[in-house]
């Protein structure tokens, strides 16, 4: 979710160091092959496939990115580099508007976009009918993935071997309030710096769908969700969106073996909002380490690195133990 655009001193409290620190860490070089796919409603999405010499039947990992992320996000590059090193394949489907071109339709993406996730996975499965397939989601991408896993439990088992959700805001109301407070406002301003201009451009193309003047006044994620996310996607407002799109209520319906990994010092996600063992099905492994920040989980030895998280996720996919 955080792509490391901020430079900041290391005295920042809580999870801010792990959240910001990826800006200082060397990112691996990854080559992609882009595939454009038309959506059933007449729009398009872009899939970035890991380029390389992996065999056609090698395991395939689908990564759903976070808010305003994509295949160039630090966590995507780290995971794809790990997959290439072990002879696996990978693909990053971009949510609408996140691959560098505006949508054809008055449509974006959101934390509860489970139907889009389901269509993407079914499209990839049709393209790769025999390979073992796994899915991971970071932050918003993890939320949408968990929504789909819990709502489409039987279909999900027919498509995926296992899944992982990292730094997911399972309770959107708690996370939405948290990102508007204190130092977290740095991040909300960063997100809004790209979300607002894209939404204003969409409003000018589709004036009956969005109010450009109202969007220009959006100075918080709540106001953005109230003026953009909710009206575009059929919610009554930000509160309705946060309630209905939260993935925590769907954890009990998950039938696919799934890792839910959240750091307890994540600055955006209050620890008290995280799920307990009783909130999830037996198929879900819950991990809540004390450190890791939001999408950080850096290797511990200074200056750190991005390899811990992809190794941990791949180990879970391979069936090697994690604690629950």
Instruction: Write the pLDDT tens digit of every residue in 313-322.
Output: 999 999 975 5
- Token representation of residue 294: 């939001």
pLDDT value, residue 221: 95
Do the beta carbons of residue 12 and residue 20 sit within 8 Å? Answer: yes
193 is catalytic: no
- DSSP assignment of 24-84, as one string? GSPPPP--EEEEEEE-TTS-EEEEEEEPS---TTS-EEEEE--TT--TTSHHHHHHHHHHH
User: What is the rounded CA–CA span in Å between residue 10 and residue 183?
Assistant: 14
> Model confidence at 7, in pLDDT bands (50, 70, 90)?
very low
Query: Lowest mean pLDDT: which of 259-263, 269-273, 274-278, 301-305?
Result: 301-305
> Model confidence at 11, in pLDDT bands (50, 70, 90)?
very low
Write the DSSP symbol of residue 2.
Answer: -
Catalytic residue among 178, 294, 307, 312: 294
294 is catalytic: yes
Catalytic residue among 111, 139, 247, 283: 139
For residue 3, which of 86, 108, 77 has the smallest C-alpha distance?
Answer: 77
Average pLDDT, the chain: 89
User: What is the rounded CA–CA span in Å between residue 178 and residue 43?
Assistant: 33
44 bridge partner residues? 38
pLDDT value, residue 297: 84
Catalytic residue among 225, 266, 273, 312: 266
**Stretch 272-298: mean pLDDT, rounded?**
93
- CATH, domain range 16-170+251-317: 3.40.50.1820
pTM: 0.91
DSSP helix/strand/coil, 176:
helix
Could you tell me which residue, 43 or 295, shows the higher pLDDT?
43
pLDDT value, residue 247: 98
Write the DSSP symbol of residue 218.
Answer: -
Instruction: Write the pLDDT tens digit of every residue in 112-136.
Output: 999 999 999 999 999 999 899 999 9
Ranges of each domain in the chain: 16-170+251-317, 172-245
Looking at the chain, the whole-number percentage of residues with pLDDT higher than 90 is 75
Query: Lowest mean pLDDT: which of 23-37, 38-52, 144-158?
Result: 23-37
Give Rg (Cα) of the chain.
18
**Stretch 273-298: mean pLDDT, rounded?**
93
Q: Looking only at Cα atoms, what is the longest distance across the chain?
A: 53
Instruction: Write the pLDDT tens digit of every residue in 181-230.
Output: 877 788 888 899 999 999 999 999 999 999 999 999 999 999 999 999 99
Do the beta carbons of residue 172 and residue 179 sit within 8 Å? Answer: no
């Amino acid at each position: 979710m955080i792509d490391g655009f901020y430079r900041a001193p290391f005295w920042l409290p809580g999870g801010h160091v792990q959240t910001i620190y990826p800006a200082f860490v060397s990112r691996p070089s990854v080559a992609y092959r882009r595939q454009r796919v038309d959506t059933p409603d007449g729009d398009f999405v872009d899939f970035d496939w890991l380029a390389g010499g992996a065999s056609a039947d090698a395991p395939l990992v689908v990564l759903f990115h976070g808010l305003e992320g994509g295949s160039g996000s630090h966590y995507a590059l780290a995971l794809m580099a790990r997959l290439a090193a072990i002879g696996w394949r990978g693909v990053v489907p971009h949510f609408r508007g996140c691959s560098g071109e505006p949508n054809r339709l008055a449509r974006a993406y959101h934390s509860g976009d489970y139907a889009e996730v389901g269509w993407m996975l079914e499209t990839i499965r049709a393209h790769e009918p025999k390979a073992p397939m796994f899915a991971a989601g970071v932050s918003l991408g993890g939320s949408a993935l968990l929504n789909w896993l819990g709502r489409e439990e039987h279909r999900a088992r027919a498509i995926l071997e296992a899944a992982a959700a990292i730094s997911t805001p399972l309770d959107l109301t708690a996370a939405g309030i948290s990102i508007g407070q204190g130092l977290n406002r740095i991040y909300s301003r960063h997100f809004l710096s790209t979300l607002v201009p894209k939404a204003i451009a969409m409003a000018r193309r589709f004036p009956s769908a969005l109010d450009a003047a109202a969007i220009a006044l959006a100075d918080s994620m709540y106001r953005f969700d109230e003026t953009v996310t909710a009206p575009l996607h059929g919610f009554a407002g930000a509160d309705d969106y946060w309630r209905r799109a939260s993935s925590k209520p769907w954890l009990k319906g998950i039938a696919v073996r799934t890792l839910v990994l959240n750091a307890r010092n994540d600055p955006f996600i209050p620890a008290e909002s995280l799920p307990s063992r009783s909130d999830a099905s037996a198929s879900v492994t819950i991990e809540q380490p004390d450190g890791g920040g939001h999408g950080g989980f850096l290797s511990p030895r200074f200056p750190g690195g991005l390899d811990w998280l992809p190794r941990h996720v791949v180990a879970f996919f391979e069936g090697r133990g994690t604690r629950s």
